[in-house]
C-alpha cells in the first residue's frame, strides 16, 4: 500500500483485498475478552475533523485505540481554526507534535490531498467535501463480502465481488460515499449502477466505471445489493427535485419496493438516515438491512487500514494471541 489513503482510486485490487482480508482476520478477534492489540503502541493518531461527525470519528478513534495507539481528537470548533488558523498552519502544528497519522474530515474537496503534502505521517481521508470517503467504501465492500461471498469471516478470505450487481440510489451529486464506492466496488469486480434523478447526478458521471439509470424499479429485480444514499439537503443550494414527498415516491425504498429484490439481496445505507425519505423505517430495521452491521464493520476495517499503513504490509495471523 501507499503511504496515504486519499482516494479509493489509490487502491489496486490486490491492495483492497489485502485490507479486506486483514479486516477479516481482525474480525475473528472480536469475541476475545480483551480486544486490544499492541500493534501500534507508541504511535500517535490524530482525528482532525472540520465537519461534524459521529460514526466516522468514533469509529476511527475506537480502531486506533484497539491497536493501542495514542489518539488525539481535534475539532475545528473551539480551536485556533475558529480564530482564523489555516489548514497548513494546523498541519505544521500536528507535524511538530509528531503525529504518525492524521485522519481528516473537511468540507473542501481536495483538503486531504493538500494535507498529505505538508506532513510526513500518513494521511487518511475521512471525507473531503463531495469528493471521496474511501474507508466507507472499504467497510461497505467488507460487509457485502461477508454477507454474499461465503459463510462467516473465514469463507470470505481472498474473494472479490466479481459478478455482484450493486445499485446505488439517490443523491449521488453531493455524495462522497457514492464516488468512492463506484471506484472500489468496480475494482473488486462488481457491476455498479447509479439510480437517481438527472438533477442529482454529477456532470462527469459518464466517465465513472458504472452504469446510470433513472428508473429505480427496473433495477431492483436484478440487484444483489441496494445502497441508499442520504438526501444531503444541507449541501443543496437549489431545488433539485419538486418535493421530498415526490423524491420519496420515485426513489425511496419502502416495503413494496424491497419485495421486488431477489431473495438473497441486502439493503445498505452509510448513515445517518432520513427515515421516511430515502428509506422507510420498516426497511431500515428489517433482517435484510446491514446498516448496524456496517457500523460494527467500520471499526474492524479501519483497524485494518491503520495497521497496514502504520504497522506493516501483512497481517501476522499466526502471531496474534487469541
SS (H, E, C) 242-261: CCHHHHHHHHCECHHHHCCC
- Please report, in tens digits, the pLDDT of each residue of the chain (322 residues total): 788 999 999 999 999 999 999 999 998 877 778 778 999 999 999 999 998 888 899 999 999 999 999 999 987 765 666 556 789 988 888 888 889 999 999 999 999 999 999 999 999 999 999 899 999 999 999 999 999 986 554 556 778 899 999 999 999 998 999 999 999 999 999 999 999 999 999 999 999 999 999 999 999 999 999 999 988 765 555 556 768 888 899 999 999 999 999 999 999 999 888 898 899 999 999 999 999 999 999 999 999 999 999 986 544 443 343 2
Identify the pLDDT of residue 275.
92
Helix axes 134-148, 176-187, angle to 10 degrees: 50
Instruction: Name the maximum alpha-carbon separation found in the chain.
Output: 58
C-alpha distances (whole Å) from 256 to each of 49, 216, 230, 283 are: 39, 13, 20, 10
- pLDDT at site 309: 94
Number of H helices, E strands in the chain: 12, 9
Question: Residue 157's pLDDT is what?
Answer: 74
Return the axis-axis angle of helices 13-27 and 176-187, rounded to nearest 10°. Answer: 100
Which of the 8 DSSP states describes residue 279? B
Question: What CA–CA distances, in Å, run from 185 to 23, 175, 252, 262, 277?
Answer: 17, 16, 23, 20, 25
SS3 state at 131: coil
Query: Three-state SS for 48?
Result: strand
Cell numbers found for residue 67: 491497536
Find, among 157, 181, 167, 161, the residue nearest to 227 by Cα.
167
CB atoms within 10 A of CB 37: 18
Q: In angstroms, rounded to a whole number, what is the distance separating the alpha carbons of residues 115 and 184?
A: 23
Report the pLDDT value the prediction gives residue 81, as an integer from 0 to 100: 65
Instruction: Domains for the chain: give ranges and CATH numbers.
Output: 8-132+296-310 (3.40.50.1370), 135-290 (3.40.50.1370)
Alpha carbons 92 and 301: distance in angstroms, whole number: 28
Residue 314, pLDDT score: 46
**CA separation for the pair 115, 132 (Å, rounded):** 15
**Taking the model in full, what pTM does it have?**
0.91
- How many angstroms separate the first and last alpha carbons of the chain? 26
pLDDT value at residue 295: 94
Amino acid at each position: 500500500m501507499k503511504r496515504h489513503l486519499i482516494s479509493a482510486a489509490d487502491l489496486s485490487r490486490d491492495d483492497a483485498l489485502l485490507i479486506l482480508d486483514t479486516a477479516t482476520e481482525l474480525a475473528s478477534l472480536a469475541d476475545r475478552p480483551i480486544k486490544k492489540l499492541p500493534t501500534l503502541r507508541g504511535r500517535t493518531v490524530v482525528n482532525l475533523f472540520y465537519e461534524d461527525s459521529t460514526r466516522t470519528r468514533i469509529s476511527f478513534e475506537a480502531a486506533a485505540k484497539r491497536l493501542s495507539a495514542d489518539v488525539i481528537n481535534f475539532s475545528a470548533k473551539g480551536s485556533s481554526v475558529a480564530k482564523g488558523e489555516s489548514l497548513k498552519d494546523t498541519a505544521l502544528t500536528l507535524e511538530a507534535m509528531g503525529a504518525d497519522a492524521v485522519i481528516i474530515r473537511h468540507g473542501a474537496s481536495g483538503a486531504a490531498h493538500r494535507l498529505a503534502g505538508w506532513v510526513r505521517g500518513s494521511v487518511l481521508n475521512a471525507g473531503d467535501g463531495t469528493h471521496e470517503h474511501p474507508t466507507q467504501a472499504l467497510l461497505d465492500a467488507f460487509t457485502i463480502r461477508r454477507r454474499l461471498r461465503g459463510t462467516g469471516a473465514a469463507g470470505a478470505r481472498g474473494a472479490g465481488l466479481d459478478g455482484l450487481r450493486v445499485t446505488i440510489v439517490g443523491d449521488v451529486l453531493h455524495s462522497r460515499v457514492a464516488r468512492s464506492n463506484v471506484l472500489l466496488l468496480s475494482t473488486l469486480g462488481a457491476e455498479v449502477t447509479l439510480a437517481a434523478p438527472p438533477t442529482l447526478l454529477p456532470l462527469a458521471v459518464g466517465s465513472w466505471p458504472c452504469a446510470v439509470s433513472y428508473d429505480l424499479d427496473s433495477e431492483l429485480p436484478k440487484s444483489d445489493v441496494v445502497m441508499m444514499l442520504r438526501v444531503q439537503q444541507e449541501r443543496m443550494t437549489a431545488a433539485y427535485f419538486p418535493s421530498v414527498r415526490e423524491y420519496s415516491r420515485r426513489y425511496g425504498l419502502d416495503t413494496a419496493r424491497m419485495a421486488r429484490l431477489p431473495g438473497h439481496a441486502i439493503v445498505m445505507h452509510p448513515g445517518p438516515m432520513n427515515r421516511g425519505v430515502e428509506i422507510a423505517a420498516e426497511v431500515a430495521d428489517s433482517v435484510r438491512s446491514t446498516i448496524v452491521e456496517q457500523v460494527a464493520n467500520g471499526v474492524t476495517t479501519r483497524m485494518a487500514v491503520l495497521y497496514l499503513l502504520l504497522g506493516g504490509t501483512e497481517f501476522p495471523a499466526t502471531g496474534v494471541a487469541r
